[in-house]
A and B are shown apart, each in its own frame.
Chain A
Amino acid sequence: MSQSPIASNNLGSLSKYQQGWRALNRLLHENKSFSGRETNNAFLNCGEEGRFADISTAIGWDFADDARAIGAIDWDWDGDLDLWVSNRTAPRIRLLKNNLKSDASFLGLHLIGDGKQTNRDGIGARVELYLKGQKTPLLRTRHAGQSFLSQSSRWLHFGLGNYQEIEHVTVQWPGGKKETFSGLQANGFYDLYQGRVKAVKRRPPTITPKQPSTADLPLQTEIARIIPPAGHAIPQLSTQSEETIQIKKNSLISFWSRTCPHCEKELTSWASEKERWAQADIEVLLLSTDQESPEQCNAFLKKLGIDFKSARASNQTIEIFDALQASLVDLWLPIPLPSSFLVSNEGELLAIYRGPVSREQVLSDLQLSTADASQRRKSASPFQGRWVEKPLASNPQRTTRQLLQRNQLDAAIAYLSFALSKPFVKGTEFDRGDNYLLMGQLFGQAGKTKKALMALKQAYSFLPYDIRVLRLLLTAYRELDDYPNAQKTLTEALNRYPENPDLYQDGFDLEKQYSHHKLALSYLDKSVQLEPQNPKLRFQLVQALLRAGQARQAIENSKKILRSHPKYLPAANQLSRIFSTHPDETIRSPQEALILAERLCQITQNRDAAHLVALGLANANLGRFNNAKEILARVQKAVPEDSLLGKEVSKCLKVIDQNQPVRNDQWPSSPE
């Protein structure tokens, strides 16, 4: 796992760390184990000595389940605690009976509060049980909700060991007085009513003893029928010859292969019901995943007596349909063969069948095309029950993002455009603004800035105040060289979010692009004011200040960075270079430049080329040209000639070879 950032303001490593988490999440989607097969633990309290012993296996508690909650209860009223456990894995629930055979005695107590001073359940009551001859009582508290997601029995269970005689029991009722109950006998169950002094003995019900019994788990299978929420569009289909397949009728799109016996079986069974298929309003489209010629493929189908429409699926289509499935469910297993997708004539996905499916099932699911969101949701689960949440329509973002994760940018764009163009939303509508935003972003990524702008304008109509939309609009205008609109958008955004440092950053980029250096600098300055502790941001300011001829402020800001972030080396490097190469003599400070450069090289053990260059420049500035040449020649050998640093070094060496100090002509010596 990626190492965690130590402090939350350490943004550089944060993003890598976050990506680590996401990668982990993704591995879970992909069915990887993570601290799996761990067996449950039981620790036996060995008494006075205070040391426990691990008895998990010896007592039969070491199930390798992914266990979650535990509820303790004397289920069979035989005087010992039995256990309910819930699991993530199957079986999701277990009841473990305690077979204790012991001379040790017990007591069960049930508290009933008066419902006035004290709550009826007596929750929070503290119960002390005094055994004859024992100074310290046994202690229990009536809890409701302990441990993790668990509520154990309301009965307080006391093991009494070899003691038989109970002196008395005191109950400290929450909100009430402390009360003493006497006359209790070991090995019994008692109700303790608040204010009634006498404990009431309860006759336990007779429970038939249960024989040990563990259910056989159902066989694991990946065959599944998945019903998506309403309004889930399907992506475009293409064949190996790169033809696009248009869906105009209700269709069952079925992926198959000649090498797959289950496919053959399924196809043969469908072929035997040809008339029934024909009567139904549905077209079966067989997509072969094999690499052979269409003739071979058709010959094979003909041999089986199958005359459904058929084509060979392109690899991209297979990938895309795999993504479609993964966008619906939490567990991402590759689509098996055969797999079929039931699609309405409008291009809406109605069902996914992993593995073989019968004609009856398909035709019955076809009725989903007219079902509303709530009916769809009902069909998606084999169980019925009540919901609080209203049924949501499918959001095309899931599939789009799955496609993007598989580097299918064009398919993602095509998919999202199609989904956004379709009016088949029958449930609560998804957030269109968010989707147009994504659309705009994707067009931008694909280099289609004009289309991006159109999509973003749509997004703007849904989410006019969304800062993400405004920032991307600004980017689009900048790319299209539309300065007036870019400026207008920036102003609008700043009016709404005057404290957002990112926007000032955007302003800086915009004005810099149009060489409005003064304006650019003022944006950057504001951005730094809003995030004064951000060293990278301030460092950018330093560079802008230098370009604007404000070297003194640049120096001041560099020092500020080093005070708050002494390990931010680029600031020290820049400072050294200002001191050694600034054209203005009153700005230069040869000794400081040298000290800084030497320190930098020391810290990075002479391994950082940029720091070595700083050292060379500082030496040249002090007239130690031979030193400077030697150092820079070393760097020249180490860095590629055509790299930024390589070019810089060659340029500097030319000057130094003539025994001249280097001056940076990019930095005006006075403000413009």
Chain B
Amino acid sequence: MNALYLQRVVLRSMTFLSLTTLASLTWAQEVSSITSLKDNQYQADIQDAYHRIDPKNDGWDSEVRGNQYGTQLNKFVEKLLHGEALSSLTEGFQGHQIRPSRLNIIFENAGMTIRRGNPDKDFKAIEEIHYNSSKKLKSKIKITRIEPNTCEALITFKASGFQVNTSWRCQWTDASPPKLRSLEVLEYEEVEQMGTPLLSEITEAVLGDTAAYREQLLHSTDFWRLRIPRDFGLDPAANHGLALADVNGDGLEDLYLCQQGGIPNRLFLQNKDGTMRDFSEESGTDWMDFCAGALLLDLDNDGDKDLVVSQDFRILFMENDGAGHFELVFGSSTKAQSFSLSAADFDLDGFVDVYICGYNPSFSEARAGALGEPIPFHDANNGGKNILWRNLGNWNFEDVTQQTGLDNDNTRFSFAASWEDYDQDGDLDLYVANDFGRNCLYQNQGTQEGKLPRFVNIAPELGIEDSSAGMSVSWGDFNRDGWSDLYVSNMFSSAGNRITYQKQFKTGTDQKTLETFQRMARGNTLFASNQKGGFSDVTLSSNTSMARWCWASTFADLNNDGWLDILAANGFITSEDTGDL
């Protein structure tokens, strides 16, 4: 057991003891928080908690109702898409036609057409409601709001190269199962792509010749979770990143992948024909420890790409010899389970510096579960610390978090950060996305003679704390006004949306806290620069919130039309079990 681990054990026990109060210590009380040790009382509580995970058991009768609306709506859409009679599912029905009669083409480029329309003015009887399509459409329904006898839902019809995004407001009877009384189309949008879909997968053609791809990467994380001892650093969330850069100087970019504890990180070099070969072992970067994020960048200004890895409670700096062989030259323990890395030369001394995000503060909590224990949930302040490593040259790095002011608001659960000179004053500022609460924008106050720059968190002042489950940060000028805008990943929770808007939710809570909870379920956020160093929240008007349980999201101009599009990667944990939480 190394010294670092012992430190953590001490930390853990102290944390635990600060939580125990009042009742004198009994034998059954938990004295260490690795996992739950319990007497019967504790057991009962746990079962209680289990029980309440099912919204039906937590007093949310409306959730039960919502499930019924969902079931009926699914039947309705099925029949609709199959052209079957709908009247058996309705009663005294009046509603909008599903596809508005007047649609405007709002986008047309490179084989893609997008039409959008306002709903028709008149209501129709059920016999007239239909949806005609020559395509074999599948549907997906998400109930987002429930009020008595009413629900709102996002509905997608899709087929290859085609999709309809629409939202409905539905009224229901009291009957069981409920019958549809009215259907109001709130929004309707239709996307059609002619010819080959814009994206097609070519992984097998590029990586298929490597054993690492076949034997390691074609297996789900869950495959390894059943086989490799958990103490090696396996966790169910599997937050492992990737980095692209040319590591051997041949002008072709290569790929570095971070992996679970017990299976090695991989470095794939690109061949001239665009296929790849495994170079992990030769490169010396095949770390078996749990790794989250990596950056490939020139830390010593010698013209090749060096490597930084965030490795659980450690950070490693490795020097490249120019041919893709790396040597570990600097490493340190960090103050938290580490996630995203972001680099910039914050003090403008010609050496690029590295910021590392910290999530769980202690070893045990990280390993006890993937989730941590944020307190309080909507504004957690018991997270691990982030660190700014200043590059002093000659492979020396110094923790300057404290002296640069970055230690303020630094105990949140940080997942990601990104540097940008958002105010165009010549130095780099830093936005940090925190899970379970508020984000930070650290404004760089500039370099003064002989002193390091200081940072001030001005997110509260600018109204861009984005109180939510922040997971990623991307900068890009989406509206082409010459100023960088900001896109932040969060969680879109349809259950959260449904529940937090109901009167029953946290009765006795003030309106502001309530809004915070509602905001937590809203989804991703787009902040547009106001060209004066401030931002406005344009999420709803830009229609960019609904990207589910979102991890990475990024700006990219996919169709070369000069306007930045957005890509989002999402989904938390999929297992064979279908009863999703």
Contact = CB atoms under 8 A, between A and B. Distances in A.
A277 interface: no
Interface stretch (A113-121, A242-250, A255-263): A113-121
B347 to A, nearest CB: 9
B96 to A, nearest CB: 20
A102 B557 CA distance: 13
Given A14-B19, A144-B344, A145-B418, A57 B35 contact: no
Contacts of A42: 558, 565-568
A56 to B, nearest CB: 7
B560 A79 contact: yes
B163 A56 contact: yes
A158 B350 contact: no
A515 to B, nearest CB: 17
A29 to B, nearest CB: 7
B542 A213 contact: no
Contacts of B420: 141, 143
6 contacts: A8-B381, A64-B574, A92-B217, A126-B421, A145-B295, A383-B264
A152 B244 contact: yes
Nearest to A23: B49
In this complex, the member of B199, B205, B215, B550 whose beta carbon has the largest number of chain A beta carbons within 10 angstroms is B199
A536 B19 CA distance: 14
A299 interface: no
Interface stretch (A303-311, A324-332, A578-586): A324-332
Given A92-B219, A212-B201, A44 B375 contact: no
Interface stretch (B104-112, B122-130, B145-153): B104-112
Nearest to B351: A119
Interface in B26-69: 26-28, 31-32, 34-39, 42-43, 45-46, 48-50, 52-53, 58
B9 A434 contact: yes
B460 interface: no
Contact of A58 (B20, B53, B191): B191
A359 interface: no
A159 B298 contact: no
Interface string B161-186: 11101000000000000000000000
Given A1-B52, A70-B567, A148-B551, A96 B231 contact: no
Contacts of A86: 240-242, 257
Interface string A328-369: 111101000000000000000000001000000000000000
A58 B199 CA distance: 9
A203 to B, nearest CB: 10
Nearest to A49: B106
Nearest to B219: A90
A505 B298 CA distance: 57
Contacts of A671: none
Given A35-B571, A57-B191, 14 more contacts: A2-B58, A20-B52, A34-B573, A51-B542, A60-B160, A66-B238, A90-B220, A104-B559, A147-B340, A148-B416, A387-B289, A500-B17, A534-B21, A534-B22
B398 interface: no
B206 interface: yes
Contacts of A424: none
Interface in B526-581: 538, 541-544, 546-554, 556-581
B523 to A, nearest CB: 10
B109 A36 contact: no
Contacts of A31: 222, 575-577
B232 interface: yes
B386 to A, nearest CB: 13
Interface stretch (A219-227, A287-295, A603-611, A629-637): A219-227
Interface string A378-416: 001111111111101011011001001101000000000
B329 interface: no
Interface residues of A, number: 211
B22 A536 contact: yes
B233 to A, nearest CB: 8
Contacts of A59: 112, 193, 197-199, 558
Contact of A53 (B165, B255, B475, B477): B165
B294 interface: yes
Contacts of A103: 110
B415 A148 contact: yes
A36 B573 contact: yes
Contacts of B462: none
B303 A120 contact: yes
A88 B554 contact: no
Interface in A1-50: 1-8, 11, 14-29, 31-47, 49-50
A141 B229 contact: no
Contacts of B246: 154
A229 interface: yes
B316 A159 contact: no
Interface in B199-225: 199-208, 213-223, 225
A4 B27 contact: no
A45 to B, nearest CB: 4
Contacts, number: 741
Nearest to B280: A385
Interface in A588-633: none
B580 A34 contact: yes
Given A16-B49, A329-B228, A445 B39 contact: yes
Nearest to A178: B426
A390 to B, nearest CB: 6
B319 interface: no
A75 B274 contact: yes
A174 interface: yes
A35 B573 CA distance: 6
Contacts of B272: 205, 207
Given A27-B53, A41-B570, A207-B274, A328 B1 contact: no
Interface in B513-535: 513
Contacts of A328: 229-230
Nearest to A224: B227
A124 B419 contact: yes
A101 interface: yes
B484 interface: yes
B74 interface: no
Given A59-B193, A385-B265, A210 B45 contact: no
Contacts of B13: 466-468
A17 B377 contact: yes
Nearest to A69: B241
A40 to B, nearest CB: 6
A139 B241 contact: no
B236 A29 contact: yes
B344 A36 contact: no
Contact of A174 (B201, B428, B561, B566): B428
B403 to A, nearest CB: 20
A79 B295 CA distance: 24
A43 B544 contact: yes
Contact of A100 (B238, B560, B569): B560
Nearest to B113: A58
A23 B198 CA distance: 42
A484 interface: no
A236 interface: no
A228 interface: yes
A21 B580 contact: no
Pick the 4 closest A-B CB pairs, nearest first.
Answer: A149-B241, A25-B369, A4-B377, A36-B574
Given A21-B371, A175-B350, A331-B226, A404 B244 contact: no
A57 B572 CA distance: 20
Given A86-B240, A95-B201, A8 B382 contact: yes
A431 B1 contact: yes
B416 A44 contact: no
B418 A146 contact: yes
B158 interface: yes
B421 to A, nearest CB: 6
A546 interface: no
B376 interface: yes
B369 A21 contact: yes
Contacts of A52: 542-544, 565-566
